Amino acid sequence: MSEIAQIRAAKYQESENKRYDLELRKLRKTHQSEYAQEVKKHDKTMDRLGKDFSTEVTNLESELEQRLVEIREKQKDTLVTEKRRLQEEIDNLKKSHQDRVSELKESQDNQIEEMLSSHKNTLDNAQEKFKREKMKLES
């Protein structure tokens, strides 16, 4: 009986091994299928996140480009205004300088005229005095 028991035990063990192998293959197949589904799910999520990120980057770049254009236009307007203001200031300074030059010229012309007049008066007085002295001497 021991031989029969050994054969039965061997058959039982072989059938258990086969059942175990079959169950193990089923579990592997199930887990592999679940794993593949999870990988697909995560790949889709990563693709979606990548697209969302790309869209967000594009939108942000567009927004920043629009801001940059607005700032450039504003700076251009400010530059034009400042150039115009600077030109007005330069024109005012030139006019002021020209007025001062004219004023000084007029003042100097008046001084020269006064000096000439004074000199003429001095010469006339000296001539008059000379004539009087000459007359005194002649008489």
- The DSSP symbol for 139 reads -
Please identify which residue in the block is written with the tokens 């000439």: 116
Condensed to tens digits (0 to 9), the pLDDT of residues 47-85 reads 999 999 999 999 999 999 999 999 999 999 999 999 999
Query: DSSP string covering 11-59, please?
Result: HHHHHHHHHHHHHHHHHHHHHHHHHHHHHHHHHHHHHHHHHHHHHHHHH
Quick one: pLDDT at residue 1?
A: 60
> pLDDT grade, residue 111 (50/70/90)?
very high
Condensed to tens digits (0 to 9), the pLDDT of residues 84-110 reads 999 999 999 999 999 999 999 999 999
Q: What is the pTM of this model?
A: 0.50
Looking at the predicted structure, is the pLDDT value of residue 3 above 90? no
The larger pLDDT score, comparing residue 137 to residue 46, is at 46
> pLDDT grade, residue 8 (50/70/90)?
confident
Give the number of other Cβ atoms within 10 Å of residue 52's Cβ: 10
Quick one: pLDDT at residue 26?
A: 94
Question: Tokens in use for 122?
Answer: 């001095």
Cα gap 25→19, rounded to integer Å: 10
Question: What average pLDDT score do residues 11-39 get?
Answer: 93
Helix (H) / strand (E) element for 74: namely helix 2-138
Cα gap 113→123, rounded to integer Å: 15
Quick one: pLDDT at residue 138?
A: 82
- With the CA atoms of 68, 70, 73 and 75 taken in that order, what torsion angle do they form, in degrees rounded to the nearest 10? -70
Give how far the C-alpha of residue 36 lies from the chain's centroid of Cα atoms, to the nearest Å. Answer: 50
Looking at the predicted structure, is the pLDDT value of residue 139 above 90? no
